[in-house]
Amino acid sequence: MSSTHLHPIEQKLLLNLKKAGSASPQSLSRSSGLDINAVMRGLDWLSSKGLVEIEERHEELLRLGREGERYVRDGLPERRLAELLREGERSMGELQRLVPAGELGIAIGWLKRKGAVRIEGDKVSLVSDAVEEWPDERLLKMLASGALKSSQLPAELKGWVKALLRRKDVLRLEEEVERKVSLTPKGCELAEGVLEVGESIGQLTPELLKDERWRGKEFRRYDVLGEVAPATVAKRHPLTRLIDEISEIFISLGFREIEGPIVESGFWNFDALFVPQDHPAREMQDTFYLVEPGTARLPDERLMAEVAGAHENGGATGSIGWGYRWSKELAAHTLLRTHTTATTIRHLAKKERLPIKVFSIGRVFRKERISFKHLPEFHQIEGIVVGDVSFRNLLGVLKEFYASMGFEQIRFRPAYFPYTEPSLEVEVFFEKKGRWIELGGAGIFRPEVTLPFGIEHPVLAWGLGLERLAMLRLDLEDIRAFYRSDIEWLRSLPL
């Protein structure tokens, strides 16, 4: 290694150390004109190359706390009591009136400990009326003009430091590190070679090439092994990144993204999906209902009559329906959507030209108790395909999607949703745990859902959990991590 391998900061430091012998980082900063951070960084590099040695001495530093500052100004509570008692003995009752609440006990306690007070029955008096300066008062006075190193204190005050430290925020103990830097033999040798700093070129610029100033100069090499402080770059939240990745996948499969409101009506969230009005999922324990605004605008009467018909007796769908009286009021209740299927059915109602391939990724809300597994707010990945399609196409899309996410092994299990038939649950195999994990539901919309909207083709539909997928991807055990804003964790995630 020659000195031209070194960064100009390192060269400057070597040069200054050669002159000074050994020095503190502060004095190196003064002599080199480098700021203290640059000095510390440079010293770090030099020491990792074995060119300097840094000796560290830890010093205890004492300074006044907030209460200590007040005591310097107003005197210790026991000093104030002693002043009062100098005028003559007092009864406890009198003292309780004269001394601020909460201070009397402290003041008497310390006067006793300092052997300055006599208590006979109810009477409190001073042992002697010449109460000179106590050592702890002297200590506070010394600290009033600035922090002191513990090692610099006179021996007789050391015990009093302990006593004062026991009192709340009177003293603060800090640690100071003193560093002494010196050259190692290898550093000395190299320092000989450093003549003047600024002659080597670290970066070749167009200007240097144009006016040929590079001629005759030395070029500094890149030190790819040099230690540098970790750079924390801005990045997007892992969930946002996953959402973008998933959008890309669906778009590449020919899907279009749709959006829908988070504040929904019972109608779109449940009724339009043939969820009966007495279904447990609609209860207050499961769904967040809104107070303000309490009612939503409903679609036109004709459409509602179709949906009501499907619920009550099947209407024109060929079904016998649920067999109850459908209520418009319940349909008008506002709520936070419990699934993105509300957005899907809203879109279907627009009756676009077939085939339809759309997806959405959005927030949904359910009254869940917060735990490592559940949050009352999470995301779903939702989509539909409408056209000349079959159940097999549904399985194909899901397989394709999870394969793009890196899950090759998936399986389907029969399930039940009020709005699909057949219905299924998707599970992926998680290698690391050797377990199947359920990630979402899917199915083909029932005629009771589609016919009221005039849709006669099969609608393949799915709603998948985003957070669980993200947890598998990031190897997380606790779903709450996504919402904890733990900056260290967020920084540590690889891009």
Q: Supply the minimum distance, in Å, between the C-beta of residue 202 and ligand PHE.
A: 59
Nearer to ligand PHE, 365 or 417 (CB): 417
Taking the least distance from each CB to ligand PHE, the nearer of 12 and 468 is 468
Shortest spacing between CB 423 and ligand PHE, in angstroms? 6
CB of 301 to ligand PHE, least distance (A): 27
195 alpha-carbon distance from chain centroid: 49
Whose CA is closest to 14, among 184, 180, 178?
184
Q: Judged by CB, which is closer to ligand PHE: 415, or 476?
A: 415
Sign of CA dihedral 105, 111, 113, 119: negative
Residue 273 CB, shortest distance to ligand PHE, in Å, is 8
Least distance (Å) from ligand PHE to the CB of residue 482? 19
Our CB check for ligand PHE shows the closer of 11 and 450 to be: 450
Please say which residue, 226 or 396, places its beta carbon nearer to ligand PHE.
396
Beta carbon nearer to ligand PHE, 441 or 452: 441
Q: Please report how close the Cβ of residue 279 comes to ligand PHE at its closest, in angstroms.
A: 13
Closest approach of ligand PHE to the CB of residue 321, in Å: 20
Q: Minimum CB separation from ligand PHE for residue 485, in Å? A: 27
Interatomic CA distance for residues 175 and 407, integer angstroms: 52
Residue with Cβ nearer ligand PHE (35 or 438): 438
| Contact footprint for ligand PHE (CB under 6 A) | 339, 341, 417, 420, 441-443, 461-463
Strand arrangement of the beta sheet that strand 420-430 belongs to: 256-257, 356-365, 377-386, 459-465, 435-445, 420-430, 410-414
- Quote the tokens at residue 2: 């020659």
Please, which residue, 223 or 425, has the CB nearer to ligand PHE? 425
Rounded to the nearest whole angstrom, what is the least distance from the CB of residue 357 to ligand PHE in the complex? 15
Of 167 and 399, the one with the shorter C-beta distance to ligand PHE is 399
| Cα within 13 Å of Cα(246), Cβ side | 26
Residue with tokens 């400990």: 113
Residue 32 or 343 having the CB closest to ligand PHE: 343
Say how far apart CA 12 and CA 422 lie, in whole Å: 76
Nearer to ligand PHE, 419 or 482 (CB): 419
- Nearest alpha-carbon partner for 137 in 201, 83, 89, 189: 83
What is the distance between the alpha carbons of residues 231 and 102, in angstroms, rounded to a whole number?
Answer: 51
**From CA 35, how far away is CA 6, in angstroms rounded?**
18
- Tell me whether the omega of the peptide bond preceding residue 414 falls within 30 degrees of 0, making it cis: no
Give the nearest residue (CB) to ligand PHE: 463
